[in-house]
């Protein structure tokens, strides 16, 4: 009877050991599978972050291009306006000189000769 009780305890211990080994194997498999899932999730997260960074770069580029075009348009408008004003000023000076030539031809000739003399004097130095 002592032998059968010892055998029963031994069999129970062996069954418990088998169950423990099986539990360890199952835990290892589950941990390995979870590790693979985590790795896949991390790779997907990296890919999502890369796509997001690219999209943000594209948005910044698009806004930068829009700002550049707007600034360029404004500069072109200012330059065009300045050109128009310079032409008008040149035309006004031309008209004024023509008017002065008609009203005071001798005075205009004397002023022109004086300016020519000064330019010649500076030119020699």
- Could you read off the pLDDT of 18-55 as tens digits, one per residue? 777 777 776 666 666 666 667 777 788 788 888 888 88
Give the residue-averaged pLDDT of 92-120: 81
pLDDT at residue 2 greater than cutoff 70: no
Give the residue-averaged pLDDT of 72-85: 80
Cα separation, 84 vs 89, in Å, equals: 9
Encoded tokens for 59:
């948005």
Indicate the average pLDDT of the chain: 77
Q: For residue 50, what pLDDT is reported?
A: 83
> In sequence order, what E strands does the chain have?
none
Q: For residue 100, what pLDDT is reported?
A: 76
Task: Name the band, by pLDDT with cuts 50, 70 and 90, for residue 88.
Answer: confident
Locate the domains of the chain by residue range: 2-124
Cα separation, 19 vs 27, in Å, equals: 12
pLDDT at residue 3 greater than cutoff 70: no
Query: How much of the chain exceeds pLDDT 90, in percent?
Result: 0
The DSSP 8-state label assigned to residue 11 in this structure reads H
């Amino acid at each position: 009877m002592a032998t059968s009780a010892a055998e029963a305890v031994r069999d129970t211990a062996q069954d418990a050991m088998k169950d423990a080994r099986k539990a360890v194997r199952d835990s290892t498999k589950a941990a390995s599978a979870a590790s693979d899932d985590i790795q896949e999730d991390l790779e997907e997260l990296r890919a999502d972050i890369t796509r997001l960074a690219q999209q943000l770069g594209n948005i910044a580029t698009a806004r930068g291009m829009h700002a550049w075009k707007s600034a360029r348009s404004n500069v072109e408008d200012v330059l065009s306006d300045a050109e128009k004003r310079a032409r008008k000023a040149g035309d006004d000076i031309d008209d004024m000189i023509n008017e002065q030539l008609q009203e005071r031809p001798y005075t205009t000739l004397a002023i022109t000769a004086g300016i020519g003399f000064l330019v010649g004097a500076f030119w020699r130095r």
